[in-house]
Amino acid sequence: MTEKEKMLAGLLYDSCIDLLVNERLYAQDICFQLNQLSPLAVNQRLQLFQKLLGKTGKLFTIMPGFQCDYGYNIEIGENFFANFNCIMLDAAKITFGDNVLVAPNCGFYTSGHPTDSQTRSSGLEFAKPITIGNNVWIGGNVVILPNVTIGDNAVIAAGSIVDQDIPSNVVAMGTPCRVYKTLL
């Protein structure tokens, strides 16, 4: 099994092999281009995002300051909006449903490192997917960690750190993020 196959399977892998390094450099170059564009270069921005991301809806907006690891593991639905300074570490799949709003300074981190110091110092890491449902609103400065699913119609309050699944139709908040109330 190649290191990329291990990465995509959620196993420990070495991210420093040439193929993965080159794929990250390719994504970083596109992100650099995106973040240097004039706000008026709407069509060019759209084309670059469609080149970078694994799947997009027809209507979406991602504001400058966007960064990602690979790009091809990110899928966004219709009417997706990400505000300034969004970071997506997409060594595993990050999937967003339709009508998702992401406030400024949010991070989606599929990558993690072993807690065992000897394994961690060997350079191995892992990646687990993140899935965001339809009609979700994610407040400012939220961090979503590996292996998290957020259900449809959920609201994640600003400043939350999401380390476990959040069900549909709730408002969740805090560090760690927990359900605050159910929405009708």
Task: State the catalytic residues.
Answer: 113
Contact yes or no for 8/92 (Cβ under 8 A): yes
Q: How far apart, in whole angstroms, are the C-alpha atoms of residue 87 and residue 89?
A: 6
Contact yes or no for 167/132 (Cβ under 8 A): no
Of 126, 130, 128, residue with least CA distance to 106:
130
Contact yes or no for 78/58 (Cβ under 8 A): yes
Contact yes or no for 165/131 (Cβ under 8 A): no
Q: How far apart, in whole angstroms, are the C-alpha atoms of residue 114 and residue 116?
A: 5
